[in-house]
Every structure is written in C-alpha cells, then in structure tokens.
A = this chain, B = another copy of it.
Amino acid sequence: MSRTDRDMVLGVFFNYTGHHVASWLHPEACADAGVNWAHFKEISQAAERGKFHFIFFADWLAVRLASEAALSRSSQYTAHFEPLTLLGAIAAVTERIGLICTATTSYNEPYHVARKFASLDFISGGRAGWNVVTSANPAEAWNFGKEKHYVREDRYDRAREFVEVVKGLWDSWDDDAFVRDRESGIYFDPGKVHTLDHKGKHFSVRGPLNVPRAPQGHPVIVQAGASEFGKDFAAQTAEIVFVAPPDMKAAQGFYADLKGRMAQYGRSPDELKILPGLNVIVGETEAEADAKYDFLQSRIHPQVGKEILSTILGGVDLSSYDIDDPLPELPDSDEAQGGTRKFVVEMAKRENLTIKDLYLRLAGARGKRTIKGSVKRVADEMEEWFVEGACDGFITQPAYLPGSMDDFIDLVIPELQRRGLFQRDYRGATLRDNLGFKRPKSRWQEKTT
C-alpha cells in the first residue's frame, strides 16, 4: 500500500486566543477567548465543518511562572476555562468531531480521571480522548500541597501506574452488563461487573468505576514528549502522539524509531498516529500571508519575546542581555527541551543571530516551525511530510482564533481534499472510527474468550 492510501489525520489545537504569543493583539482574534463560551461554540462548530478529526486542549494546574512584564502581556497560560467542563459543553453543540484534552497524572487521582473521560465519552457519543501528561510546571506542585514537583523518575513511574489503573477502571462493566429488563426487574447483570482491586506503589483503587463501559471502550489515549521514557510509554500505550520535531529529517527519524518500538508490545504501527504540531500562516497569495505574519511579529513585545526564548531554551536566564546582543554561550544538551535547545543554539551560531532575531523567528510558534505562504506552498509541505514517512497527519496550531483556523479551513483543507489526502466527511460515529482504530476489548472479555 502506498502511503497516500491512508488518510491524513488533522487535529486543531485550541490555545484560547491562538498559538502566536501576540495572537490576542490581532483584530480578528477573540481577545477574551479564555472565558468566552460563544467563541468556543463557534470555533468548535467551524472545526467540525472543516472535518478536523479532533479538537485539542492543553492544560496545566497553575498560572504560568513568568516575569510580571511578560505574563501581563500574555493571553495564554494564565487564566481561562477548565477543559473538561468546556469539552462537556462543546460535546453538546457538535456531533462528529473528536474532543481531546490534557489531564496530568501528577496532580490527579485515577478514579476522577477515568470517570470524567468516560462521562465525556458518553455525552459525546464516543468522541473523547485523554492527553496524558506528567506536568512540567513547578507551580502546579504548590497548588497541591507539595513544595517541589516530582522528580522525573517518580513522575513517569506514577504515570505508568496511573494509566494502568484508569484503563482497568474503564473495564469495570462489561459492554452488555446493563440489561435494563423491565420484565424481570433486572437492571444489570451482577456477573458482568468487575472489581479492580488494584494495590500498587502509588495507588490503591478498589473499583468498580461508577460509569458504564464507554462507547469507545476506552477513550483514545494521547501523549506528547520525545524523551526515552516518552517514546517507550507511547509505543506501549499511546494512540496519538503529539510531537514537535524541528525539521523533516528529525521527524522521519522519530517516526521510524517510535513505530519500530511498537512490535515489542504486540502492537501494529497502524495503531498509533504520529502528529507534529503545525503552524501555518496562509493567504491566497504569498504577499497576503506575509502581511498577516508581519503584523503578528510586529506586535511581539521584547519582554515577551525574551521570556519565550528563555523558555524554549529550557529556562535560560536572558534578563541581563540586550535584545540586540548575540545569544550567549550555553551548555550544550541533547536532553534540554527534547533537542530543541541544541537545534536553536546551532541555528543561532550558523546564522549569527541576535536574541531579537531568534525570538522573532521562534516566539510566534513557541519554538516550532511556521509554514508561511500560499496554499500551494503549505499543501506541498504537508504532503511531503506525510508521503515521506515523517508523520500520519498534523495538529494545526492556529496563530490566532478564529481567523487563522478559518483561513486553513477555507484555503488549505479543500486543497488537501482535492489531492485525495484528507477526508471529505467523517467516516464513522466515534473518534476511534474516524482514526481507523478498533474498539479495545475489555480485559475481562479477553480472559474468558
């Protein structure tokens, strides 16, 4: 089968006012997106008309730590809706699009997480997905009675056990447990409910879950992170992996590596979709795209630019440097930010870039590439990545909302459909159906058959 026999998967990341650091300053952005339900209703329905496979929300359990000067100019990562209540609402006003959000394993309990995603799966008729993260923001710890964030190994260990417990809880009731037979008066078959009785290192959870088995069996498991732990965890467990490779070569390497690890867990490469974040600024012409991009770039405040560059480099303190200084010497590290620091440092040296040059290049898309230009240029690059084994699709990160997503729907999606790369309509009822995934059997069903 040629690579283009399969469908490109496209999700859309709703980062409130948009993904660009200056998004809210654009006149076509909804500045109060973080608390504006009408905005989310509108963009969710628009995304569904665009046939996106899913909507994606990041999440974190604290206001971002940043300098007052930078933070007070930012519309993202400060204060806004909680995504599970918001996805409940979005489920009620959409019919086909998948609904994915983040819940951390570090400051949650598996019973709550299992319940809420199963509940969202019922409300939405099988469209829920859980993005599993272990948190990176130390401020989250302070809101949950801890002085420090878990060290990496504990965090991962807890995450592994957490996901196992959640999946066990999702199998508490057999699919056919609820007979609701008015003749006999039997509501459910007591032989078809299972007590998990999990006793592990981090959690003791008896079960059963007080939600029936979800329409999808298990909501779709999503994961991000390119660390060694992340790759193994993804190979074993994830069904969507959200990645941010610096270029196509890195993406191809990651793709081959991760798909290659799946066999050892008895999984086929088709059971996992690898989706890079995609930042697109598109216009009917190159000039139109340039104008949009230049406007946003012109509105990046130096404090915000320095702050985000510092974050992209893994928390390097740039406060004593002028924005026209060259990037200072930094300890090299393959690990910092999943290789992003190394990539940025090399680029700065190679091209002799100042701090301002760098943040202008990186801040808009938060350290990731931006494809800018005409419809043809954008579609060509997406097609190339897809056909050349760099990805199974993308998670688009609109620079500002609703404008950038509307541009993508109006211009890029029809071109991808014309090329036979992207679905013209949803193929099934559930997110799993639309991703071409099978519905997982219950662990109890596997045992008895």
What is the interface of chain A, defined by CB distance below 8 A to chain B?
Answer: 24-25, 27, 31-32, 34-35, 37, 41, 60-63, 68, 71-75, 78-82, 84-93, 107-109, 111-112, 115-116, 118-120, 122-125, 139, 142-146, 172-173, 178, 180, 182, 185-190, 193, 203-212, 299, 301
| Cross-chain contact A187 with B107 (CB below 8 angstroms) | no
Residue pair A90, B87 in contact (C-beta under 8 Å): no
Q: Is the CB of B91 within 8 A of A89?
A: yes
Excluding A31-B182, A84-B84, A88-B91, 16 further A-B contacts by CB distance (< 8 Å) are A27-B182, A32-B180, A61-B111, A62-B210, A63-B210, A72-B188, A72-B189, A72-B190, A78-B188, A82-B211, A84-B85, A84-B88, A87-B88, A88-B89, A111-B144, A185-B299
Contact A24 B180 (CB under 8 A): yes
Task: Given A31-B180, A180-B24, verify A78-B122 contact (CB < 8 Å).
Answer: no
Instruction: List 15 A–B pairs whose Cβ atoms lie within 8 Å, in order of A's numbering.
Output: A37-B122, A61-B111, A62-B210, A63-B209, A72-B186, A72-B188, A73-B186, A75-B180, A81-B119, A85-B123, A88-B89, A107-B109, A107-B111, A109-B145, A145-B205
When distances are taken between beta carbons in the complex, the residues of chain B under 8 Å from A116 are 82, 84-85
Check if A205 sits within 8 Å of B87, measured CB to CB: no
Q: How many copies does the complex hold?
A: 2
- Nearest CB in chain B: distance from A212 CB, A: 5
Given contacts A80-B210, A87-B88, are A25 and B62 in contact (CB under 8 A)? no
Decide: B187 and A24 in contact? CB cutoff 8 A: yes
Query: Which residue of chain B is the closest to A173 with respect to CB atoms?
Result: B79
Q: Cα distance A120–B82 when bound, in Å?
A: 8
Whether the pair A35, B93 counts as a contact (CB closer than 8 A) is no
Give Cα distance in the complex from A28 to B447, angstroms. 39
The residue in chain B whose Cβ has the minimal distance to the Cβ of A208 is B63
Contact of A115 among B82, B185, B206, B210 (CB under 8 A): B82
Q: Are A37 and B125 in contact (CB under 8 A)?
A: yes
Given contacts A79-B212, A144-B111, contact A190 B68 (CB under 8 A): yes
Checking B25, B90, B93, B182 against A185 with a beta-carbon cut-off of 8 angstroms, the contacting residue is: B25
Given A93-B92, A123-B86: A75 in contact with B187 (beta carbons within 8 A): yes
Point out the residues of chain B lying under 8 angstroms from A27, CB to CB.
182
A143 and B206 within 8 A (CB): yes
A111 to B135, CA, bound (A): 15
Whether the Cβ atoms of B190 and A142 lie closer than 8 Å is no
Which of chain B's residues have a CB closer than 8 A to the CB of A107? Answer: 109, 111
When distances are taken between beta carbons in the complex, the residues of chain B under 8 Å from A84 are 84-85, 88, 116
B residues in contact with A173, CB < 8 Å: 79
Q: Could you say which residues of chain B place their CB within 8 Å of the CB of A60?
A: 210
A300 (CB) vs chain B CBs: closest residue? B185
Which residues from chain B contact A32 at a C-beta distance below 8 Å? 178, 180
Q: Provide the residues of chain B in CB contact with A37, threshold 8 Å.
A: 91-92, 122-125
Asked if B35 and A122 sit within 8 Å, CB to CB, the answer is yes
Q: How far is the CA of A185 from the CA of B190 in the complex (A)?
A: 61
Question: Given A84-B116, A123-B85, A206 and B35 touching (CB < 8 A)?
Answer: no
Contact across chains for A109 and B144 when beta carbons are under 8 A apart: yes
CA distance A118 to B206 in the complex (A): 31
Indicate whether A85 sits within 8 Å of B82 (C-beta atoms), given known contacts A92-B41, A125-B37, A190-B71.
Answer: no
- C-alpha spacing A48/B448, complex, angstroms: 47
- Tell whether, in the assembled complex, residue A210 and residue B73 are in contact, meaning their CB atoms are under 8 Å apart: no
Of the candidates A80, A85, A89, the one having the most CB atoms from chain B within 10 angstroms of its own CB is A85
A220–B117 CA distance with the chains assembled, in angstroms:
26
Closest beta carbon of chain B to A166's beta carbon, Å: 12
* Cβ–Cβ contact A143 & B72, under 8 A: no
Distance in angstroms from A169 CB to nearest chain B CB is: 9
